[in-house]
Each structure stands twice: as C-alpha cells, then as structure tokens.
DNA sequence: CGGAAGGTTCGATGGCGGTCGTACCATGAA
DNA sequence: TTCATGGTACGACCGCCATCGAACCTTCCG
C-alpha cells in the first residue's frame, strides 16, 4: 500500500507485547481462521499460502492471514512468489500461557 | 417467551457436550462478556445480576448473560427476584481443557 | 522480453451482533 | 392489593466484518 514500486516484499509483524487478548480471541473466533491455525499446527513448520484447505476465495483468505498476523498468531515471509506461514506458538505461549494450545487441542478434538 | 403466565422462572442450560468451541470463543471474544466472566471468576461463587460493573445498559447485559449461558460458560438460577450467576468452570474444563483458565488468567494479567 | 503463477488491493455488499429505550412481567414487601 | 424492585422481551438502529470479483503487482520461467 505505502510501498513504492519495486521494493522487496516484506511483512510487518507486531511484537507480542503489543498484542491484546482481545485481538487474539477475535482472531481465533473465526472458523476459517481457526482452520488455518489448525492446519498450521498440524503441519508443524512453514506452509505455503496456497496450500490451505478453506471454503473461501483467495482475497478473503488474504484478509484472514492479515488478521492472524496482526494478532501475532502467525508469522509470514516471502520466498520467491510464495508466501510462507508459521505459527508463533512459543511467543504466544509466553504472552498468553495455555491459550493457543487449548484452542488448537479443542479444534482438533472437534474435527 | 413461551412460558405461560405465572410459572416459576426457570432457565435452560445446555449440556456441555452440545456446546461448540465456536460458541465458547465467540462468547469470550466480547469485552463486556469477558468482564462478566472475570468478575465471576474473582467472586468464586454466585453473583447477582445487578452486581456487575459494566459499561452497558441492563437490557444489553441481559443479552450478554444469555450468550454466556447458551455457550455453557455460566449457570443461572433465580432466588426470589434476584438472578444468581456462576461459572461452569469444572464442566468447561472437562470439555475444553485449559481454555477458560487461559482466558481468565490472561484477562486478569491485562487488567 | 513475454507470460503465467501466486497474492494483494480495492470497492461494494450483505448479514449479523451489540446497543439502547420502552414496555412488560414476576416476586416480595408494605 | 398495591407498590417497588430486578430482570426480561421486543423492536429498531447502526456499525463492523466476512465475503466476493476484478484489476493489479511481483517474481520466476521459458
């Protein structure tokens, strides 16, 4: 948006100390976003943007990734034309102990 | 609503097995509802409807209580003209281990 | 240098949910 | 029985957010 033409694509990630419980809960309260988090948790490491199984369009998925990133839940970086995603599990655990685990576990159990 | 005139006021509570993670997360994602839950957690036991410190009107608060009850987060029962509320902490812990604790703890830490 | 693949941005839209005020109901006390 | 209290039901409003399609931008590969 504010990026001038032809600049390497970078992504802004908040420090977890700036992230509120409200943001994280809102992020995790959406079913599609929880699918993303679940699949990311199952994958363990990085996972390409296009490799997620969701019922929404690409542009909507981009939106969800943004919400998750701004909530400090995921980390994103480019490699070539592909955007890789990973969970910020450890940092999140330090900030909100038990929260991500509980949600991921519950999501797994329900599915 | 469907209750005929002059019937003792009772409240419907879902079995926690019928409650979804979605419901619980949506319930806990609202700031006002989280205030209610926090104050309930701090109180330990029952707490009258009118004794909560929130920034919303009575009718809105009633709405939030309904959401929390339908999500299996709180239990309500009448005593005289007063409605008492309590957390369904143990049941919730059995259904979604660690979830309520994590949220309550985080909410306390942030406040 | 094309062109294709992978994502993003933009604008529009639709629906849901939080909010309120008012009217109403049940209970207990005077 | 009448009144006051505590809470609910209802209807309306408003703002936000998930969603989409289309246009666009980057990067890689022929």
Mean pLDDT, to the nearest integer, of B46-55? 93
Query: In angstroms, what separates the C-alpha of B37 from chain A's closest C-alpha?
Result: 14
**A109 pLDDT above the threshold of 60:** yes
Query: Which positions in chain B have a beta carbon within 8 angstroms of at least one beta carbon in chain A?
Result: 20-22, 25-26, 28-29, 31, 34, 96-99, 101-103, 105-107, 110
The two three-digit tokens of residue A42, written as one number: 């199952």
**B5 pLDDT above the threshold of 70:** no
Task: Please give the nucleotide, over all strands, whose C1' is closest to the CA of residue A33.
Answer: D18
Could B21 and A106 be called an inter-chain contact, meaning their C-beta atoms sit closer than 8 Å? yes
Q: What does the pLDDT look like over B58-85, one tens digit per residue?
A: 999 999 999 999 999 999 999 888 999 9
In the structure, how many helices (H) and strands (E) does chain A have?
5, 3
> What's the alpha-carbon Rg for chain A, to the nearest Å?
14
Token pair 């991500």 in the structure block, residue: A100
Q: What does the pLDDT look like over A30-57, one tens digit per residue?
A: 999 999 999 999 998 789 899 999 999 9
DSSP-derived secondary structure letter, A111: -
Would you place residue B13 in the very low, low, confident or very high pLDDT band (cuts 50, 70, 90)?
A: very high
**A4 pLDDT above the threshold of 90:** no
| Helix ranges restricted to H, A4-111 | 21-28, 31-43, 58-70, 89-95, 99-110
Least confident stretch, A10-14, B18-22, B98-102: A10-14
CB-based burial of residue B18 (10 Å sphere; 0-12 exposed, 13-18 middle, 19+ buried)?
Answer: exposed
Query: Which positions in chain A have a beta carbon within 8 angstroms of at least one beta carbon in chain B?
Result: 20-22, 25-26, 28-29, 31, 34, 96-99, 101-103, 105-107, 110
The C-alpha angle with vertex A19 and arms to A13 and A23, in degrees rounded to 5, equals: 105
Residues of chain B contacting A31 with CB distance shorter than 8 Å: 22
Could A25 and B21 be called an inter-chain contact, meaning their C-beta atoms sit closer than 8 Å? no
Distance of alpha carbon A30 from alpha carbon B58, whole angstroms: 28
A103 CA from D12 C1′ (Å): 36
For residue A81, which of A14, A8, A21 has the smallest C-alpha distance? A8
For residue B97, which of A4, A101, A92 has the smallest C-alpha distance? A101
Would you place residue B91 in the very low, low, confident or very high pLDDT band (cuts 50, 70, 90)?
A: very high
Residues of chain B contacting A26 with CB distance shorter than 8 Å: 29
Mean pLDDT, to the nearest integer, of B14-30? 98
Domains of chain A: 18-110 (1.10.10.10)
Q: So what's the pLDDT on residue B42?
A: 95
Distance of alpha carbon B86 from alpha carbon B76, whole angstroms: 7
Q: What does the pLDDT look like over A80-91, one tens digit per residue?
A: 789 999 999 999
């Amino acid at each position: 948006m504010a990026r001038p033409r032809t600049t390497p694509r970078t992504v802004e990630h908040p420090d977890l100390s700036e992230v509120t419980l409200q943001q994280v809960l809102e992020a995790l309260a959406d079913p599609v976003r929880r699918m993303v988090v679940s699949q990311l948790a199952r994958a363990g490491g990085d996972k390409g943007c296009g490799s997620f199984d969701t019922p929404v369009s690409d542009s909507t998925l981009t939106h969800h990734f943004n919400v998750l990133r701004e909530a400090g839940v995921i980390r994103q970086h480019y490699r070539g034309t592909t955007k890789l995603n990973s969970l910020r599990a450890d940092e999140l655990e330090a900030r909100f102990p038990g929260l991500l685990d509980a949600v991921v576990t519950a999501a797994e159990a329900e599915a």
